[in-house]
Amino acid sequence: MPHDKIFITRSHIIPDAITFLQSRFDVEVWQENTPPPRALMLEKAQECAALLTEVTDVIDAELLDGATTLKVVANRAVGLDNIDIPAATRNGILIGNTPGVLHESCADFTLGLILSLARNITYGDRKIRAKEWTVFDQIPYLGTDVYGATLGIVGMGLIGTAVARRARAFDMRIIYHSRTRKPEVEADLGAEWRDDMDAVLSEADFVSLHMPLTPETEYMVGKRELELMRSTAFLINTTRGRTVNPRALYDALSGGEIAGAALDVTDPEPIPHDDPLLSLDNLLLTPHISSASHQTVRRMGQMSADNIIAALQGEPMPSCVNPEALGGN
C-alpha cells in the first residue's frame, strides 16, 4: 500500500486532505484549477491505484475500461453524474462519494437564495453599485414575504429535509414530492406529501429542487412544468444545471410566467457570458457554491481521503456506492 500511487485532480481545494494522503502514499496533484486534460486522465487511470476527483472530471467507460491499475475513484461530491457507475462496477473499481457532510451547508444556502430572491436583496445591491439608486423609493424593490408562504420541495433527501427544517422557522407550509415518501419528515416537520411533481409545482410559492441528476431527472423541469407554476412563484435550483431546461426557463422568466428564479447551477457550467439568462433582473445566479463553506469543503476532502485509504487497505469505505464491484474482475 505505501507504494500505491494516487492522482488528485485539483491542488487548491483540499490541501489538508492532500497532505494527509501524502504522508501515506505516492501522491501526484494536478496544479491547475481547471480539470486535467483528457489524455492525462486516461494516462493516470492506467498507472494509479486511486483517483480523487471533482464533479467536473469525466470518469466514463473509456477511462474505466482502460484502467489497468485503478482500484478506487473517490469523488469529492454527493452527486455522481460525472461517473459511469456500471462501467466502474464491471471493472471492479470502487466508487466513493461524500454524503452526510454537506447537506446542512446546502440547506443554509438554499434559504439564503430564497430570501435574497424573494426580498430583492441582491437586486437592490446591483442597483446601488450601478449608481441607479438616486432617490428613496421602495416601490421598485417591493418583494414577496417568505413567512407563511408555501415551500414545495422536489427530492426529500438529506438536503431537502434540512431545507424543510429551516423553513419551519419561517412558518412556511411545506409540500413535497420525492422518489420515496418520508413519513418521518411528515411527522416531524408537518410536511405534506404529493404523489407527483406537478402538484408541487402548481401549489407552491417557492419550488426548491433537490433531486439527483439521472437520466430520469435530466431536464425534468421544462416548458410544461414551468407553465404549471403560479405567475407569482419562484424556482430555486441547487442540484445540477441539467435538471432545468435553460431556454424554457428564459422564456418563463422573460414572459412573466413565473416571478423569478435562483440558480446555483447552470447548463452549461460556467454559464457563457452572452447567455440571455444574464439579461434578466428576476434571475439570481451563484457559481455552484451551495456546499462551499470552509468547514464543509474540509470535511468532504477528508471523507474522500478516508474512502481511498479504506479501499486500498481492503476495508469498508465510509461511503461506497458500488460495493458489488468487489465481486468484479
273 in Cβ contact with 247 (< 8 Å):
no
* Residue 320 pLDDT greater than 90, yes or no: yes
- State how far the Cα of 26 lies from the Cα of 23, in Å rounded to an integer: 8
Residues with a known catalytic role = 240, 269, 288
Output the pLDDT for position 329.
45
| Helical axes 15-22 vs 294-312, angle rounded to 10° | 20
**Across 248-324, where does the E strand assignment appear?**
260-263, 283-285
Output the pLDDT for position 284.
98
- State how far the Cα of 288 lies from the Cα of 302, in Å rounded to an integer: 21
Share of the chain above pLDDT 70, in %: 99
Helix (H, G, I), strand (E, B) or coil at 194: coil
* Residue 18 pLDDT greater than 50, yes or no: yes
Output the pLDDT for position 109.
98
Output the pLDDT for position 1.
52
Please, what is the average pLDDT of the chain?
Answer: 96
Output the pLDDT for position 328.
47
65 φ, ψ (degrees, to nearest 5) = -70, -25
**Residue-wise pLDDT tens digits, 97-156:** 999 999 999 999 999 999 999 999 999 999 999 999 999 999 999 999 999 999 999 999
Share of the chain above pLDDT 90, in %: 98
Angle at Cα 232 formed by Cα 230 and Cα 237, nearest 5°? Answer: 80
pTM: 0.92
- Per-domain residue ranges for the chain? 5-101+294-327, 103-285
* Residue 301 pLDDT greater than 90, yes or no: yes
Average pLDDT over residues 186-212: 98
* Residue 82 pLDDT greater than 70, yes or no: yes
Instruction: Choose which CATH entry (3.40.50.300, 3.20.20.70, 3.55.40.20, 3.40.50.720) describes domain 5-101+294-327.
Output: 3.40.50.720
- Adjacency order of strands within the sheet including 26-29: 26-29, 5-8, 50-53, 72-75, 94-96
The answer to whether the 5-101+294-327 and 103-285 domains have the same CATH topology is: yes
Output the pLDDT for position 255.
98
Residue 327 banded pLDDT, cuts 50, 70, 90: confident
Q: First vs last Cα of the chain: how many Å apart?
A: 20
Average pLDDT over residues 67-93: 97
**Residue-wise pLDDT tens digits, 219-255:** 999 999 999 999 999 999 999 999 999 999 999 999 9
- Looking at the domain that runs over 103-285, which CATH code has it been given? 3.40.50.720
Residue 6 Ramachandran class (φ > 0 left, ψ -120 to 50 alpha, else beta): beta
Pairing of strands 94-96, 192-193: unpaired
Q: How many helices (H) and strands (E) does the chain have?
A: 12, 12
